[in-house]
Structure formats: structure tokens, C-alpha cells
Structure 1
Amino acid sequence: MKKIAICLIVFVIYSVPLTVSATTDYEGRQHLYSKMETITQIPWYYFAAVDQYERNIRNARKDLPDTETLIGIYFSPQQWVGPLNPDIIDNDPLSIEIFNGIGLDGNGDGKADRTNDEDVIYTMAMYLSSYGTDKENLKIALWDYYKRDKTVNFIMNYARIYEKYGVNLDKHAFPLPLHANYSYRSTWGDRRGWGGLRIHEGTDLFAGYGVPVKATGYGFVEMKGWNEYGGWRIGIRDINNVYHYLAHLRGFEKGIDVGSIVEPGTIIGYVGSSGYGPPGTQGKFPPHLHYGMYKDNGITEWSFDPYPYLRAWERKERIERKKK
């Protein structure tokens, strides 16, 4: 009876086709997420979170094809049609089921098309709902699928961000107030000697003690505390799987803790000169903000130069400020 009810819901929902050309990417995705919520009773923001995570890793890895459709979720040909299916491009739902493939027909056209947004997100929705619709069962479903605790943590926190701010999360902010007296240049890759010879994985923004430090994008606080190199520092994971490392702070903004959700412009701390020693060490260098960025691709993580992004965010914020 449950399968019959789901089929009836799918038929009714997809009797009104989605015309992608008549909508923005964000509206189109929201339309699909909301349909899956109606079918499964799983809140739409979980689908948005999975879709965003998949889009992130596809954009960061060479072994996965680029995203060319609205939905970024990727199923390999073998995963879709079944590992023993001799027809690697099979789109017959019946034969796919016989060979234990995951692919399903989500739009009622009689085909399970791996390149069709509706079929793809419906397939993921049915996988998740097979475990249940509550938070804990969704976490189990995600772990069974990805086999990586870090990935499950990303997706569950992305869901919280989407729930709070909606689906369009492209806005960014410069980490320091534009009216503050600050300066910076490209210092990524420079030599550093304290604690052993190493390269500088970030950009230093020099400013006065106590200048507010802001989150640059939508994300969640993944780490907060003391590090002998970075002093009082905070780590924010954004919606694009990028980890933002902000160090040498004088202190943290009240209420900002591990797990906190932030948006562009949220004050998270204040410029200082902490670090290069045990907890509380201050003043071994001029006050500045160390800003580092690290990309996660679902397997590993690496640093990259934040300077071009800082310049772009600064420039855009100045332009927007002039418009007001």
C-alpha cells in the first residue's frame, strides 16, 4: 500500500512539468527539493544539503564529471543500472531493479534516466526515506552511503544552514570592516620559521587590536580554541566544503561556539596577536588576522591561496556600499 500511495503522489506531482528554462537554477532546485519533501515527508533542506555536497565534490575532483544539470547528485553507471547489468546505459526500471541497480523513474515517463534531474533526486529521496524520515535515521542512511563521518557532519550542518537561510547562499563579505585601518598583500607560500621551517598557508591582514572579524560566507563553526601556532583561532566550514581558518585573534564574539551557524558579516571575533606559544601567549608579532582556506573533496583536504578571494570580496563589498 505504501508503494501504491507513493506512486499516486508522484503521478500527481509530476503531472505539472518543471520547465527549467522558465526559472532560475535556485528556483528550479527548490521546486525539486519541495516535491521530494511532499513525497517522502523528509524536509526539503536535507535534499538541498546532499545536492550541495555532491556538487562540491564533483567540482573539486577530476575523477567525477562536471555538473551540467540542476541537480549535482551523481550516480555512477554501474551504481545506477546494477553492478552485473550488461547494459551500462539501461534505463528500464524493471531490468535495473532485477540487477539491483539504484536507478528509479521519478517523473513517470517509464524510464530511469541517470541524466534526468527528476529521476536522480527521486532516486536519492527513495534511498534516504527507506531508512526513515527523522534526523537520526537520515544520519545512518548518509553514513551507509558515504562511509565517512566527516561527510555526514558536513551534510547535516548544511541542512541547518539551508533551513535557516534558504536556497540562495551566494553572498560573501570581507572579513574586516571596510572603514577600519587595515592592509594586506599576497603572503601565501611565504617561508615561516617558528616551530620549524614551513610555508605560510594563508594571507595576513594587518589591523589594530580589537578590530571586528567577520564571517565571509554561510557556514558553521567547525573548530574554536587555542593552537600554539595560530593562538586563539576559529574554523568555519562553508556551504562549498571550504574550511576558513581565522587565527591570532584577541578573543571571540560572545555566543560563537562550535556548531554555530554564521552568515556573511556575522562577527566571530577580534583582531589580536595571539599565538606562537602556550595558551594566552600574546604580542610576539604585530596584530593581524591570519586567513587561510582549505578545500575538501570528499577524500582529502588541501590549502589554497585566499588572496584573490579576499580581493574580490573586498571589491564587491565596496561597490555594494556605494550603491546604498
Structure 2
Amino acid sequence: MKILKAVIVLFLLSPVLLSDHAYAAELSQEDVYKKRMELYTKVEAVSQIPWYYIAAVDQYERNVRQARRDLPKAEGIAGVYFKPEEWAGLLNPNLEDDNAVSIQFFNGIGFDGNGDGKASLKDDEDVLQAFAQYLLSYGTDHENLKIGLWNYYKRDKTVGIIIGKAMIYKHFGRLDLDTHVFPMPLRSNHSYNNTWGDARGWGGRRIHEGTDIFAGYGVPVRATGYGIVEMKGWNKYGGWRVGIRDINNTYHYYAHLSGFAKDLKVGQIVEPGTVIGGVGSSGYGPPGTSGKFPPHLHYGMYKDNGYTEWSFDPYPHLKMWARQERANLKKK
């Protein structure tokens, strides 16, 4: 009987005994977003830094950890990563130190964010509050937050990506921004094959970093997901082209357009289905060159890992997004 009671007590207490990481593994994606938003708003209440900046930093770090092999994957609700020596202090002899006083003595970044008396590197709230406290030393307004981010990452592109994410989160007011659509209307007459990695000769030997989707001249080209316009203009290879960065550090490249959607501008927030231009045959020459190949959309995807950016095959994603969009249309 005593053993049975002990098992029952353990079962009832198990949610309390679970670590943040084990607890996160038990949650649905919807619950994960809910818990993250709760964390971000807690950090905002303490630091007065708007939640969407905290969310942007957290999402950036989570994506970087997913893209790199030299960093541990995020296992909890939060994605921000601190090295043990950074957390505890470079001269701290105990890299597992969770005493906020001694961590402060050794100039570590660790912080007791939830008031439990410990500054734990394994506690999501402590980690996010620690990063917020770092930013808070620079201020809470937009420009000073950018300065704080630059001093931490020492990389202009990283600061730009994080600020872009913050603006996306601010615009939509939520975290669940994972929906995608095919870059052209599904009912349009189009065709495509997996051409990523194929040889290309114009302008020197190189590989094809994308998928070509052939369609009629002027067929609408759409943003495939939620993001921010990072680039718009001419390139001698891609012609009239647009670059959009999503919340997962992925850069979506649309090239050979016939033109841009009216009023489309750099810094604009887009969502799945936003028309950004039309299918064309521009490129392979100086500004205005067109007609050197059949009209098509060159669609490329690039991942940033905090150091550099590289292309990866968009074909599987295009197939998946088309299936998902058809399925969603059937539900309506």
C-alpha cells in the first residue's frame, strides 16, 4: 500500500518534477507558442523591452542552433544560447554555478529571472531575462536596442535579421506564422522540375541555386510565407528580383520578374499569398534586358546560420506547400 501511495504521489507531482526541456517535449506546437508568448510578456513586464524584440532574438537563436552542428539544439521553450563560461563568468571556477551573487561577482551574464533564488542556465525564464537585462543596459527604444544587438553579435546582418523578425511579430501580434503557399496561384498554368544544382554557363560556370517554375508572362508571383522584403531591384543574372526573409532565418529569392507589384518596397511586411510581382524573362544583361529565355520564376531559398548564408533545394518545399494549400482550399 505504501508503495502504491508513493507511485500515486510521484504521478501527481511529475509535471512539477519535469525539467523545462522535458516539459517542452510534452507540449503541442500550439501550446509551445502559448508558453513562449507568456515568457516574452513576462520579460517585457520586467524589462519594459517590447515582447516582439525578445521573441525575435529567441527565434533567431533557435534557428541558428538548428542550422549549425557546433551548437546544441534548443530543447526547452526558449532558444537563446549562452556558453557556460559566458553564463557563469569567464574566471568562475564553477561553470555550473547557479548562484546569482557569485555569477555577478565573476561578471557572468547569468540572471535569476523567476525569483527562485537560482540563476540557472537550464531555466528558460532565467535565460530570456538574462538577455533582456543585457539589452536593458543600452535602453529600451528601437535605436538603442539595435546598438545593444550589434555589440552582442558584432554582425550587421544578424542585427538586420533580428530587427526584421521583430517587425514581423509586431505587425501580426502573434507567433504562429508557419503557413505557406505555392509562389503562383495553383490554378495557373505552370510547370516545374527539380533543377537545383544543375549547371549554368551564363556569366561563368556555376550551379543553379533554385527551382525554375515556367508559366505565362505576367502570371502573379506570390510571397510563399510571412516575412519582410529585404531586397528589391535589378541583378544582371536575376533581372528584376525580390528577396524576402521569413521568421526562420530563411531568405526567399524571386527572380526574372516582369515587374513588381504596385507600391512594393523594402521593409514591407508580407504574408502568404501577397502578390509581389509577375512572371517574366528579365535578366542576363544590363537593366531592362528581357527575352533571352522563356518566361519563368526562379525561386531560391537560402539559410543564414549566424556566420554565412547558403542555398538549399527549394523543390521539396514547393511540392509540400502546394499539397498543403490544396488541402486547405478543400476545407473551405
Category of TM-score, reference length = shorter chain: over 0.9
1:201 partner amino acid:
E
**In structure 2, distance between residues paired with 1:149 and 1:214:** 28
What's the CA shift for 1:124? 0.9
Shift of 1:76: 0.5
Partner of 1:48: 55
- For residues 112 and 195 of structure 1, the distance between their equivalents in structure 2, rounded to whole angstroms, comes to 55
Q: Quote the Cα distance in structure 1 between the aligned partners of 2:108 and 2:204.
A: 52
Shift of 1:36: 1.1
Describe the SS at the equivalent of 2:102.
Answer: helix
Indicate the residue corresponding to 1:4 in structure 2: none
Q: 1:208 aligns with which of 204, 210, 216?
A: 216
Cα RMSD, aligned residues only? 1.3
Paired residues, number: 307
Matched, 1:129 2:136: yes
Q: 2:252 aligns with which of 227, 235, 244?
A: 244
Letter in 2 for 1:214: R
Aligned mates of 1:37, 1:94 — CA distance in 2: 23
- Which position in structure 1 is the counterpart of 2:16? none
| Residue 140 (structure 1) shift | 0.7
Matches within 5 A, 1:99-118: 99-118=106-125
Counterpart selection for 2:286 from 270, 278, 288: 278
Aligned counterpart, 2:276: 268
Q: 1:69 aligns with which of 58, 70, 76?
A: 76
Residue 32 of structure 1 aligns to a residue whose secondary structure is helix
Supply the AA of the counterpart residue of 2:179: K
Unaligned runs of 5+ in 1: 1-17
What secondary structure does 2:60 align onto?
helix
Looking at structure 1, the residues matched to 101 and 48 of structure 2 have their Cα atoms a distance apart, in angstroms, of: 26
2:89 maps to what in 1? Answer: 82
Structure 1 segments of 4+ aligned residues over 3 angstroms from their partners:
18-23
State the shift of 1:168 in Å. 1.1
Cα deviation code 1:232-287 (max 9, x no counterpart): 11111111111111100000001111111111111101000111111111111111
- 1:188 matched to which residue of 2? 196
Equivalence for 2:181: 173
Q: TM-score, normalised by structure 1?
A: 0.93
1:118-142 deviation per Cα after TM superposition (whole angstroms, max 9, x unaligned): 1111111111112111111101110
CA distance in 2, matches of 1:39, 1:106: 9
Kindly indicate whether residue 165 of structure 2 is the aligned counterpart of residue 158 of structure 1: yes
- Give the AA of the match of 2:65: R
Q: Where does residue 228 of structure 1 map in the other structure? A: 236
Residue matched to 2:262: 254
**Kindly, what percent of the aligned residue pairs are identical?**
67
Would you say 1:31 and 2:46 are equivalent positions? Answer: no
